Structure formats: C-alpha cells, structure tokens
Structure 1
C-alpha cells in the first residue's frame, strides 16, 4: 500500500452496526483511518463537517439507500469517490451504480485484496495528482469509466497489437496513445503523431511514406517520411477517417507486409512500428457508404477504446480544472488560483462540447481575467458560452443513429437475459451480424444475464 492511501480517511455508511464494526476492523488492518455512520442522512452531515477521502456505502439501507446517497454526494461534493457494497451480488445494481458514477461496486463478503486495491485507486484519485494507474502514466482522473479504460490500456501496452481510439474531439485520444507507447517495450523509440485531416491530400502520401529526390517538382532531396522516422516506435494516425481511399490501400499493404515504398522509388523498405489510430467519426457508417475500407478497419481496430466525453465524467471537472490552474500558476510564477465553490454549479451544468481541450482553454481565460486568487461565480458565468450545445438535441445524425442502435441492442439483451441468439431472434437478425453490432458498441452481454433472478 502506498503512503498516500495509508493515511486516507474513509467514511463507512451502513445501517447494520455489526457490519460497521467489522468493516472498521478490516480498514484498520489495512492501515486506514475510518469513521462510521448508520444512515445516508448522517453521512451527508459527516461529509459536510469533515470531507473524507473515500466513502464506502451499503447499497440497501432504510430511508435513503446507497444510490440516493450517491446522488446527493455527487451534487454536493462532486469528485468524492463512492464505493458501493451489497450482499445481493446484483449485476443490475452494479450496472446502475456504475452508470450513476460510483467509483466501484463490491460484493459482500468483501475480498480483502479487492478492497485494498480498490481503496488504493480511490484514495489516489482523490488527491487529484497526475497519477500512474497500474503503470499507465499521464492521466488525471477520478472517473471509474476512465480507470477501467486505463487498466485495459495498460494490458494492451504490453502487446504489439494495433489500437484504435475513438471519441469526440478534445477527449484525450493522443494523450492515451502516448501513454500506451510510454508503457510499452517501444518507449525508448520515437512516438510520432500526424493528423491525417490537417495535411493536404497531395502531400500526405509523401509525408507518410517519404519520397526520393526528383519524385515530383520540388523534391530536391530524399525525404524518409514518418513511417521510417518512427522506426522501432509508434506512429499515431489521428483522424484516420480523413485519409483518402487510395492511401488507405497503401496503408493496408504496409500493415500486411510491413514494408513501405517511398514516392518515386521502385524499392520497398522494411518498417518495424506499431500503429495507433484515432477518429471522432463513425467508421462503420463510412464503410457502408464506401468511404472507408472494411479490411483496413479490421486491421487497425484490433483493440478499441472509446473515450467518454467530459460531460459523462463530470467528477473529473474539479480535479482537471485545479490541475490546469496549478500549471498556469507555475508558468507565471504565481500562487495557483481557484474557482469559487459556488461557481461549480455552472461548470457541472455546462455540456463541454470541446471536452478537456475546452476546459483547458476556459482555465486560461479565467486565470487571465481574474484579478484575485478566487475566480468568482460571476466571472465563470461570463466566461462560459451563453449558447450551450445541448447533448441530447444538437448532435449529428450519425451520432444520433449510433446512440439509438446502442440503446436498442442493450434493451434487447436485457429482454433476452444476455442471450445473443435470443436477442438476435428478437431483432430479426442472424446471430453473427447481431454479435458484430454488440462488439461494435463495446457491450458486455454478461451484464444482462440472470436479471430475472435478481430480487
């Protein structure tokens, strides 16, 4: 256990006094200080009196249950990690709790090592520092969604498979790609990023594969290109959906044969690199419209990560904001500024269409415009755009279709108790096609099994 977690203060909430005493003894054995209360109402009073590092709450309690307490904590103390306990082992409850933002969900009797590992992560996340999540550096998060993604990314980093990262602009796709590289055996070699949509089509081929002297007008010398520049390391192809079809064919050949041919050359050159690609577009829809090659998609998309937008991990807002303000304070040799607590309601209500990148820009504006150490509620209100982009009404047609399809599939799996064949029958699709749709959206059928047995 780290020194950080050893001194963390844990608040335990349970209406069973015997279980409170047992959990207190277990936490003490793990090196934690703890407080115990017997209801959700008492917990909220205790949190206001002295905020803990982590809350552990039973799910089933009289009057205010664990989910009700979670809702209140998120409103009053955003970012405070809450671990849920239940004796029922309910998959349904676990899904609901995690969707509502619970840091983790543990089943009674709690395994000692599982409790220790979960508390370490929760206590570290509460510190708001740039942390290494089980060996993956570079991310600042308190989000259980992000912790799951980062743990999977850490495992993927140990292999050499191609990775595709999807997500809205500004969610941190390049940051994740670089973290995978830095956690891999290729970390001593270059990490090179290129935005496929930012380079004119006529120059992109030369930029990627290089060219020989005289290959075209202006080619006054040999140029080795980014594939060779990244030799031994990782090439990050951002906005892969913007790559022209004729270059998609050449990229597919590189992935298949591990060779490139510079523009104007007759000879192939061997390359040893890892490809990580990223996009905010729906590539499967582009495949249907013949704008992206299906064979290339499956070559690139061996492992897929979808980064959630900032509005779906609002617990990260306070810690990210403070991190950016700390950086600005260091840059200008000043004491770090802070946003007034009463201004948080504006930040949490805003949809953040530009995600983390927009939050960084917002931090710089507030830092520059605030004459005092406390960034006022009025300044925050004035700095945020007046016309907010509402998540549910102003989305692209492709995004609306994606959301509908995902929701539809989840409802069928729920009805079918997690059975792929039965859900496929209900959808009037063959099993193979339905499974591809399930996999596309990253849905785990196991989460929907045996719901009918849950009391």
Structure 2
C-alpha cells in the first residue's frame, strides 16, 4: 500500500504537527530530526514520499535531494521552506524536487501535494516491476529452453517460486534438468548473490555424510585435522540443492529436519549451535511419500521439503522442444570448436522426434555434440515403443509449423507461402497444436 511518508525536520514541533495530520489521514509516518539518519535507514525502492526541511544542522534538504536523486531520481521529495528560501526551492524543483511548501502551510495544501506525489510514486514503481518481470522472463526463456506448454508452465512456476521463501521439491527423471531448474530458482530470487551449493546425496559415502553436510571440529573423529565448515554452513544466506534426496541416510535425515525447523546446525564434535539462513531445494525421482511408507524416508522431512513441488516432464512428453534444444546444444558445441554445426536433414529431424530419449535432455545434448563433431548421426534413433505413426506425424507437423512461424516472425501470409498451405488449413493446424502468431512476432 502506497501510504508511506518520511518527514525530516530539526524542529520537533513541526515533526509532531505533521505526524498528527498525516496519521489521522491514514498515512504511515516515519520521523527523523537529521537527514543523515534518514539516508542510513532508507530502503531501496522506498514506496513513498520524502518531506524535508531545507535548512537543518548538518546535511540540509538540498544536499539530501542531491543524494536521493543520485540513487533514485524518481523518488518524490517535497521541500519545506521559510519565506527567504523560496527562490532556492524553485531552483531545487528544476533539479528534481517534486514540490515545495512555504512555512507556515495548511494541512490541506500538504495533503494535496502528498497524494499527487504518492500516485506518481505508485505508477513509477509499478512500471519498474513490470519491466523487471519482463526482463526476468526473457532471461529465463534463454535458460529453460522450450516452447511446449509444459515448459511455459514451468517457467511461470519458477518465476513465481523464485521470490518466495519456501522449500521446493523437484520431481523428474534422470537427465531432465533438475539442477538447472534449481539453479534458476536461486538465480532469479533474492538469494542470487549468496552461495548456491549443489550436493548429490547418492554420491557421498554414508560414513562421510554428516561431516560433509554439517562440518566438524578438530579431532571430532579419526583423521579430522582442523576445523571444517560443512556445506550447509557454507551456504548460509543462499540455497542448498540436494539431488537424489531419497538416497540420504535416515540418521542424516533427522538432522536435516532439525536444521530446516530451527535454522540451526551443529558441527560434528561441537557443543554450540550455529544459526543458518537456508533455502532447501531437493530433487528426487521416486515419490518421497511412497518412500516414507516403505520405511526408507522420513515422512515429516518429506512434508518439510515438499512445500512446493515442480514436476519436470520427460523429453518424450514434450517432443516439440527437441529441435530447439538439439540446435542449441549443437551450436554450443560447434562454437567451442570454432566450426559450423552441420545442418539437419528432414529425415534426421523426423528421427529425432521419434526417439524416446530415455536419458532426456542429457542424452539429447550428447547426441547434439556428437552431431556437431561429425562423430555420429542423430538419425540412428528409433521410434518410441507405444507411439503410433500418427502421433509421430503430429509431433513432426507441430515442429514444422513452429519453425516456419519462428523463421518468418509470425507473418501468416509468408508462412502460408513457405508451407504451401491455404489460410484456413494453416489456421486449423495452428489451433490444433496450440500455436499463436503473437508468440513469434517478438511483441
């Protein structure tokens, strides 16, 4: 709610009077006697207005305005002036002040100026938010590649969850990109500047698990020379990604649960708790609740981890993303080698779409790299078991339409000519495959 006002004046009587007027009108008022104190406590993107006297001991209103303008030129500043300061205040408005009020001023005059300033501030911050969202969406589209409905839904979910302080469980098959999604949840959220620590629970020997996660003190066990900070402590303020969480030993599950509940941990061999601020993102192939019913996983930990769940569809369920991903991986491999990636023939593309890709994106990336190196053909794939010829044809048709729309920027008449289709037929096919020209016009 945009009703925040900061009032800075060295005269206590003026501060008190302005606070009473504004508080009675529903404003959230914060008072300062010194401009320096306001600057030290002012939050970034402050959703309100600054009201400041011009003449004060130390930093005056004009100096404050200059500092605020340097950090946020759109932050409205209303200056309070004495009679002799009016020319100075007019000059300040030319330099970015929103308004000035000559003392003594009436509550009505103050309210009118303040409400207009708050309306302007609300519009500015909403516009910034929309631009930031568009920028994040564009960056995420370049990181989680794909045009399928499943990928579009996943990107929306990642953007929604990235800013929320909740633990997330990612479900998906081997090679489906679980760590990449976890990294996006970290990079597109408020913890991005802090550490992202990834651990594969299946790759850590059980005997070393506790020391790896929680660290140890010197002499905690045979061979423990010196103090060691564990992965959880190292990630303080950031994100811990625990892949294959179902492989975590039961004894360590109990200790992890305590860390999640209390945001505290103890190094192995220590008696003192250490406060930590962590976000846990876990990944698993099996259903953790089924694992819990089988006695292989703690049910209470499963619920703590699964505050929000993301499901990554296997590649065979989003075949329309295969050509885009293959092209991306092939180009990346070719760029590393300083050579051009060989083009795909129509037959090779059809076989790419027909293959089941049991290794998912990881297998596809390997095939694309081999193709770029000239070491193998992607056309060696075989059609997936249980998929009919008509289903394979539908997937291929959808990709051809998408490629033409992308190539011609959504220009329907050009796409009709390129694919030699009448407009009605093209419209019907686009509708059947959930395609819209607006998705390819760059708008």
Q: Normalising by the residue count of structure 1, what TM-score does the alignment of the two structures yield?
A: 0.53
Match of 2:140 among 133, 136, 157: 136
* Equivalence for 1:167: 172
User: CA deviation digits over 1:233-262, x for unaligned, max 9?
Assistant: 101011100001111000000001000111
Q: Deviation digits for residues 40-97 of structure 1, max 9, x if unmatched?
A: xxxxxxxxxxxxxxxxxxxxxxxxxxxxxxxxxxxxxxxxxxxxxxxxxxxxxxxxxx
Give 1:157 deviation, angstroms.
Answer: 0.9
Shift of 1:364: 1.7
Cα-to-partner distance string for 1:178-206 (whole Å, 9 max, x where unaligned):
00101111001111100000110111111
Matches within 5 A, 1:168-317: 168-317=173-322
The alpha carbon displacement at 1:380 in A equals 2.8
Displacement of 1:366 after TM fit?
2.0
Deviations 1:367-404 (A, max 9, x none): 2235xxxx8xxx3334x4x6x77479xxxxxxxxxxxx
Contact between 1:236 and 1:277, CA under 8 Å: does it hold in 2? yes
User: Displacement of 1:134 after TM fit?
Assistant: 5.8
- Displacement of 1:152 after TM fit? 1.4
Give distance in 1, aligned partners of 2:337 and 2:371: 14
Q: 1:285 Cα shift?
A: 1.3
After superposition, the C-alpha distances for 1:101-135 in whole angstroms (9 at most, x for unaligned) are xxxxxxxxxxxxxxxxxxxxxxx9xxxxxx95366
CA contact (8 A) 1:135 1:183 kept: no
Q: Distance in 2 between matches of 1:306 and 1:266?
A: 40
Provide closer, same or farther for how the CA distance between residues 156 and 134 of structure 1 changes in structure 2, counting only shifts above 3 A.
Answer: farther
Q: Shift of the alpha carbon at 1:349? A: 1.2
Q: 1:112-151 maps to which residues of 2 (within 5 A)?
A: 133=137, 136=140, 138-151=143-156
Distance 1:391 1:160, change over 3 A: farther
1:325 is matched with which residue: 325, 330, 343?
330
CA contact (8 A) 2:347 2:379 kept: no
1:380 equivalent in structure 2 = 378
**Structure 1 257/170 Cα, relative in aligned 2: closer, same or farther at 3 Å?**
same
Between the aligned partners of 1:294 and 1:205, the Cα distance in structure 2 is 20
Q: Classify 1:224/1:357 alpha carbon distance in 2 versus 1 (closer, same or farther; 3 Å).
A: same
Q: Counterpart of 1:452?
A: none
Q: Give a deviation string over 1:201-239, Cα, whole Å, max 9, x none.
A: 111111111011111111111110111111111010111
Q: 1:363 aligns with which of 344, 364, 368?
A: 368
* Structural mapping, 1:300-449, within 5 Å: 300-369=305-374, 379-382=377-380, 384=381, 390=385
* Structure 2 match to 1:59: none
Q: Confirm or deny: 8 A CA contact 1:134 1:154 kept in the other structure.
A: no
Deviation at 1:302, TM superposition (A): 0.2
Distance in structure 2 (CA, Å) of the matches to 1:266 and 1:134: 48
Q: Distance in 2 between matches of 1:222 and 1:389?
A: 53
How many angstroms does 1:338 deviate by? Answer: 2.4
Alpha carbons of structure 1 residues 156 and 283: separation in structure 2 relative to 1, 3 Å: same
Residue in 2 aligned with 1:443? Answer: none
Q: Over aligned residue pairs, what C-alpha RMSD do you find?
A: 2.0
| CA distance, structure 2, for counterparts of residue 220 and residue 389 of structure 1 | 54
Deviation at 1:336, TM superposition (A): 2.6
Partner SS, residue 271 of structure 2? coil
Structure showing greater Rg: 2
Work out whether residues 334 and 373 of structure 2, in 8 Å CA contact, stay in contact via their aligned partners in 1: no
Counterpart in 1 of 2:422? none
Return the alpha-carbon distance in structure 2 between the equivalents of residues 134 and 153 of structure 1: 13
1-structure distance, mates of 2:328, 2:217: 46
Structure (1 or 2) with the greater helix fraction: 2
2:310 partner SS: strand
TM-score with structure 2 setting the length: 0.55
Is the 8 Å Cα contact of residues 240 and 281 (structure 2) preserved in structure 1? yes
Q: How does 1:82-121 map to 2 (within 5 A)?
A: none
Listed as ranges, the gaps of 5+ residues in structure 1 are 1-123, 125-130, 393-455
CA contact (8 A) 1:286 1:292 kept: yes
Q: Tell me the number of residue pairs that the alignment of Structure 1 and Structure 2 aligns.
A: 253
1:244 and 1:139 map into 2 onto residues whose CA distance is 32
Higher relative contact order (CA 8 A, sep 6+): 1
